[in-house]
A and B are shown apart, each in its own frame.
Chain A
């Protein structure tokens, strides 16, 4: 399980925790998140920003 960070706003996505409030189950890999998903903090689309492994 990895942790990713939005380079635009610093939002952290933890694969182990998922994002239940956004309908993303715990354990969801970053690669499995739909391309039209947008960062809940800054609104940048998944395809529109890089996530860096931290």
Chain B
């Protein structure tokens, strides 16, 4: 019997394997990973530094233990060169692999903004990146972060907590503008400023010059920011190349339906690489739900994923935030419900039903209660 082959050993790939094994202990599974296959949780990478966590200590389960517990064959440090769909065969650096069903859980690449000068810009997208980043920080005192979104702000909080002088540069108007209404996003400004973070909104780095051990960034408004380390956190681009070359239908991500099925019936995608009915959802909760549904389908009980309301938690302990984002094109408006040490906001549709929220500071802990309020009205 040909195996179910899972490409990728991140949260998406391994959660799927775990869920599938709960349903079926017999079915052969092969996991192909371009790295070691050690299991770690990617969300911890942006708040591990202040806790002085070594890359090794972030590994929750080593690859060999994972393979033994979940009974799969692991091909670590293996790159997939091509998918031959007609023969259901992969061409890899470890030789050909045949599959019965193929699951693409290959993640996303960090988006890099083109810069003039001698840019030596880091991004932290996996455990190996984290190791490099941590190494570079050893001799550093200051960090410039390009990107003031969720990940950029989490890093800013973590690094400021660890004693670094942090500058955040973002062309947008305020922190986490992609998810939060302005009044909520602005709540983050002062608490992080008090920790020594300097904000540069409405600004982009144009030129980076090396000067000795550090860098000088010239911003669009001609401000000069100096930093020993430059970190880019401007977003992720789903990895679609392999799928595209195999002739699968792709858009921003690998296009799949609510069964996580691609344009080829034997190929599925989930996690950061997937675009589910037009939506990319690179967060923990959607991945858990998608993995559970796909495990059922692969076990022969076809299942569509139904996403409940899934709040996103921003790991900024200086001013905690929880948000239930609303689609960009949603009709309605944000309203302030309460204001104190932070702000509690709801997004109301034209029928006056709450379909999203943003909770900051003291209100962040009301996440479950607010999610329940949204559920009750839907």
Residues of A within 8 A of B (CB): 5, 7-10, 22, 36-38, 41-45, 48-50
Contacts and interface: CB of A to CB of B under 8 A. Distances in A.
B44 A44 contact: no
A9 B43 contact: yes
Chain A to chain B: the 7 pairs with minimum beta-carbon distance, closest first: A43-B313, A9-B41, A10-B60, A36-B368, A42-B284, A10-B41, A42-B43
Contacts of B312: 43
Given A22-B365, A36-B368, A41-B43, 11 more contacts: A5-B60, A8-B43, A9-B44, A9-B284, A10-B41, A10-B58, A10-B60, A37-B368, A41-B315, A43-B367, A45-B368
Instruction: Give the interface SS of chain B, mostly helix, strand, loop or mixed.
Output: helix
A51 B67 CA distance: 19
Contacts of B60: 5, 7, 10
B316 to A, nearest CB: 13
Interface of B: 11, 15, 18, 40-41, 43-44, 58, 60, 284-285, 288, 311-313, 315, 322, 365, 367-368, 372
B372 A36 contact: yes
Contacts of A7: 18, 60
A8 B284 contact: yes
Contacts of B40: 10
Instruction: Give the interface SS of chain A, mostly helix, strand, loop or mixed.
Output: loop
Contacts of A41: 43-44, 315
Given A43-B312, A43-B313, A48 B285 contact: yes
Given A9-B43, A10-B44, A43 B322 contact: yes
A50 B19 CA distance: 11
B322 A8 contact: no
B367 A38 contact: yes
B62 to A, nearest CB: 14
A43 B372 contact: no
Nearest to B368: A36
B368 A8 contact: no
B288 A43 contact: no
B262 to A, nearest CB: 25
A37 B71 CA distance: 31
B233 to A, nearest CB: 19
A43 B41 contact: no
B288 A49 contact: yes
A37 to B, nearest CB: 8
